[in-house]
């Protein structure tokens, strides 16, 4: 029995290691190809970009967010902040920012939720070709707008692009877990466009052609994860064969981490719950036979794998971890534990050393702490498992979309 279990774990480990190796290899090859293309193309573009920032009680961060946008060296831009009925000092701060930056467009509305704030900005104030959505607690790098516009200039069929999101700073164990998670997760994301697997254009810095946004009716207002919902709606309506969805790895955005376990759990439940709702709303994509409109890699592999493999494996994860420690305690066999440690160490080091945007200090610190990657990722795994279990208790809401709230769900900043 022990031998059979050990063989089963070894097979799963081999499959996962192969998947990781292929993803990392393709990610690095894709990055090298994109760097070569960008050098040949340059950053000259004729496309204007509007940045819409929905804000609700963002007094601690809205000024830094706006400053980062006006620090960008891209001339053809407009910055629109939609204050969604904030009850703190957000409105006063924005009025002061408008004195400093007269071109800043500040919109005040009654509290209606993030999606409605974004739609108000897009439908009534945007005048540029491209629309970037940016959270009020986040910032962009000084060259982010120019680099994002260049991606759309290079590909006339590109309708949506995600950015490379980084944790702004990390000081505690929970925050470092997120810093490693973002670095490794976005490294994997580099490989997805090569297989036409991109299906989430995340909210922080996500950029769209205005024409595509209007064609699908902008953001839906019945979801707490309006970015995931919009991404899948765009794929559903436009397809992902003629319409392209990409990941702009050189466009950096920075966001603060969840500072404690409780806030991290609240955040990840919202993400998982919203993703399940979006998958359910767009379930016709699963195993679609419209091969001229949708890539089979997305509809026959990626989406089914999420529900029927990744989430099932998440439920089985405690059993696998328990078995790992059982082997360690009973037989003093370090094979499974050491294999997991080495795998995560390799993934972490590959992510750190292939990333050209990390500062020297970040690279040194993350290299020295990379042996802890397995432990840090299991913090995230525990949070994801708790989120999944809570989603299961709300399966009726997910299946029948009975909870259509889109209210703000802030965590402590």
Strand partners for 6: none
| Dihedral angle over CA of 62, 64, 68, 71, nearest 10 | 120
Region of 62 (left: φ > 0; alpha: ψ -120 to 50; beta: rest) is: alpha
Q: Compute the C-alpha angle 48/52/57, nearest 5°.
A: 160
At how many degrees (to 10) do helices 335-353 and 173-189 cross? Answer: 70
Task: Write down the pLDDT at residue 10.
Answer: 64
- Model pLDDT, residue 203: 75
Q: Give the whole-angstrom CA distance, residue 248 versus residue 31.
A: 10
Query: Rounded to 5 degrees, what are φ and ψ at 245?
Result: -125, 130
Partners of 248 in beta bridges: 163
pLDDT at 70: 98
Residue 406 CB: number of other CB atoms within 10 A? 21
319-343 burial string, b = 16+ CB within 10 Å, else e? ebeebbeebeeeeeeeebeebbbeb
3-state secondary structure of 260: coil
Residue 144 CA to residue 164 CA, distance in Å, equals 10
Give the pLDDT of residue 41.
66
| Cα-based distances in Å from 341 to 149, 338, 381 | 40, 5, 15
Backbone angles phi, psi at 365, to 5 degrees: -60, -45
**Both structure tokens of 198:** 């991109």
pLDDT of residue 343: 85
pLDDT tens sequence across 187-198: 888 888 889 999
Exposure string of 140-169, with b = 16+ CB inside 10 Å and e = fewer, is bbebbbbbbbbbbbbeeebbbbbbbbbbbe
Instruction: Report pLDDT digits (tens) over 97-140.
Output: 999 999 999 999 999 999 999 999 999 999 999 999 999 999 99
Residue 191 has what DSSP assignment? T
Q: What is the mean pLDDT of each run of 10 residues along the chain (413 residues)?
A: 64 67 70 67 80 97 98 95 97 97 97 96 98 97 96 96 94 94 90 90 93 97 94 98 95 96 96 96 97 97 92 89 79 76 89 88 93 93 97 95 80 72
Rounded distance between C-alpha atoms, residue 41 and residue 35, angstroms: 10
Question: Within 10 Å of residue 346's Cβ, how many Cβ atoms?
Answer: 16
């Amino acid at each position: 029995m022990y031998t059979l279990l050990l063989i089963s774990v070894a097979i799963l480990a081999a499959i996962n290691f192969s998947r990781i190796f292929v993803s990392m290899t393709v990610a690095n090859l894709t990055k090298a190809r994109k760097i070569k293309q960008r050098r040949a193309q340059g950053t000259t573009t004729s496309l204007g970009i509007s940045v819409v920032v929905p804000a609700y009680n963002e007094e601690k961060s809205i000024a830094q967010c706006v400053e980062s946008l006006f620090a960008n060296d891209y001339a053809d831009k407009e910055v629109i902040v939609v204050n969604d009925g904030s009850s703190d000092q957000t409105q006063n701060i924005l009025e002061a920012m408008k004195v400093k930056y007269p071109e800043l467009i500040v919109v005040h509305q009654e509290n209606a939720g993030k999606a409605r704030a974004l739609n108000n900005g897009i439908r009534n104030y945007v005048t540029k070709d491209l629309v970037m959505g940016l959270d009020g607690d986040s910032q962009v790098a000084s060259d982010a707008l120019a680099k994002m516009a260049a991606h759309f200039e290079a590909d006339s069929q590109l309708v949506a692009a995600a950015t490379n999101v980084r944790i702004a700073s990390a000081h505690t164990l929970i925050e470092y877990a997120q810093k490693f998670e973002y670095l490794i997760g976005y490294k994997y994301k580099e490989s997805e466009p090569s297989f036409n697997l991109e299906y989430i254009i995340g909210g922080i810095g996500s950029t769209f052609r205005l024409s595509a946004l209007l064609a699908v009716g902008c953001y839906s207002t019945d979801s707490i994860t309006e970015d995931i919902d919009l991404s899948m709606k765009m794929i559903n309506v436009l397809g992902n064969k003629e319409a392209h969805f990409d990941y702009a790895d050189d466009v950096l955005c920075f966001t603060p981490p969840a500072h404690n376990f409780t806030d991290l759990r609240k955040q990840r439940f919202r993400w998982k719950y919203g993703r399940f709702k979006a998958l359910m709303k767009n379930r016709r994509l699963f195993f679609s036979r419209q091969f001229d409109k949708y890539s089979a890699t997305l509809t026959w592999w990626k989406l089914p794998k999420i529900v029927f493999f990744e989430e099932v494996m998440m439920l089985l994860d405690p059993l696998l971890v328990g078995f790992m420690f059982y082997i360690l305690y009973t037989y003093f066999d370090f094979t499974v534990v050491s294999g997991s440690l080495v795998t995560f160490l390799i993934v972490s080091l590959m992510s750190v050393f292939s990333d050209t945007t990390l500062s020297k200090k970040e690279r040194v610190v993350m290299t020295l702490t990379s042996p802890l990657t397995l432990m840090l990722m299991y913090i995230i795994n525990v949070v994801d498992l708790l989120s999944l279990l809570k989603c299961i208790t709300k399966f009726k809401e997910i299946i029948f979309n009975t909870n259509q709230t889109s209210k703000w769900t802030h965590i402590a900043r």
